[in-house]
């Protein structure tokens, strides 16, 4: 709703391997201007602001920090690990290495989060036109293997058996991601950066988790005690 009041601002870092579509996801989510022919340059560092309506009568603001894609053994710079309220880890299900990289990122997050609980979600970007996106929900799949080279815009060069192998590879990586996320107790979503509607659910759920609805106590005595405590603290 356009009339909703903006109440809070959450700091979110989106990260992952180079070329998995982090910037495309944000550009599509916020502006809806990404197509299969869009030319997106490699990100060094950028910031996006998203106003999310979670249905609570107010809009929650997410300040999302888009980071440079990681390659090889390069780690996420330490300063990104110190201030966020949440992390979005993105991978390409047709690229096993981009999925394997997430475990290292998660380990670094755990190392620097101190005692506070850190909200993390994982997003599989189903960018290939050969694969039909099924929406932002986890997908169970059998195991498989192999690697497929990809073009700069995320479309895979497939023909004949290669297309079948690519599908098996994607299903295998989605299954691996589901298993890992279940062990780590992380929400896992499959989206397609070319389909804006598929992007809403992960970000709405992230905002809800960052800013849960405050429920009022049903016990009048408890409410009175809370009010008195508040007055004492402010006096």
This prediction's pTM: 0.75
- Per the model's pLDDT, the better-predicted residue between 44 and 203 turns out to be 203
Vertex 141 angle, CA 129 and 21, to 5°: 40
* CA–CA distances in Å: residue 92 to residues 19, 62, 152, 189: 8, 23, 13, 12
**Cβ neighbours of 82 (radius 10 Å):** 10
6-128+171-210: CATH topology? Rossmann fold (3.40.50)
Q: How many angstroms from the chain centroid is the CA of residue 130?
A: 23
Residue 220: the pLDDT is 53
Structural domain boundaries in the chain: 6-128+171-210
Burial of 118 (0-12, 13-18, 19+ CB in 10 A): middle
Query: What pLDDT, in 10s, does the model give residues 15-59?
Result: 999 999 999 999 999 999 988 888 788 888 899 999 998 887 778
Least confident of 50-59, 91-100, 196-205: 50-59
Query: What pLDDT, in 10s, does the model give residues 130-151?
Result: 343 344 544 433 333 333 234 3
């Amino acid at each position: 709703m356009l009339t909703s009041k903006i109440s809070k601002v959450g700091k979110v870092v989106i990260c992952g391997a180079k070329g998995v579509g982090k910037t495309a996801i944000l550009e599509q989510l916020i502006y809806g201007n990404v197509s299969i022919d869009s030319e997106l340059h490699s990100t060094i560092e950028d910031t996006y602001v998203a106003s999310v309506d979670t249905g609570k009568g107010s809009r929650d603001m997410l300040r999302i920090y888009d980071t440079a894609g990681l390659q090889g053994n390069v780690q996420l710079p330490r300063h990104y690990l110190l201030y966020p309220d949440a992390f979005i880890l993105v991978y390409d299900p047709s690229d096993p290495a981009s999925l394997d990289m997430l475990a290292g990122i998660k380990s670094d997050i755990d190392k620097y989060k101190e005692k506070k609980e850190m909200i993390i979600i994982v997003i599989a970007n189903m960018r290939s036109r050969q694969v039909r996106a099924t929406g932002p929900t986890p997908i169970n799949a059998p195991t498989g293997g192999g690697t497929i080279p990809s073009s700069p815009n995320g479309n895979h060069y497939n023909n004949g058996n290669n297309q079948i192998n690519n599908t098996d590879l994607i299903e295998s990586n989605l299954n691996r991601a589901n298993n890992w996320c279940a062990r780590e107790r992380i929400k896992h979503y499959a989206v397609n950066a070319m389909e804006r509607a598929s992007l809403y659910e992960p970000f709405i759920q992230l905002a809800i988790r960052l800013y849960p609805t405050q429920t009022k106590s049903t016990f009048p005595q408890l409410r009175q005690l809370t009010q008195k405590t508040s007055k004492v603290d402010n006096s």
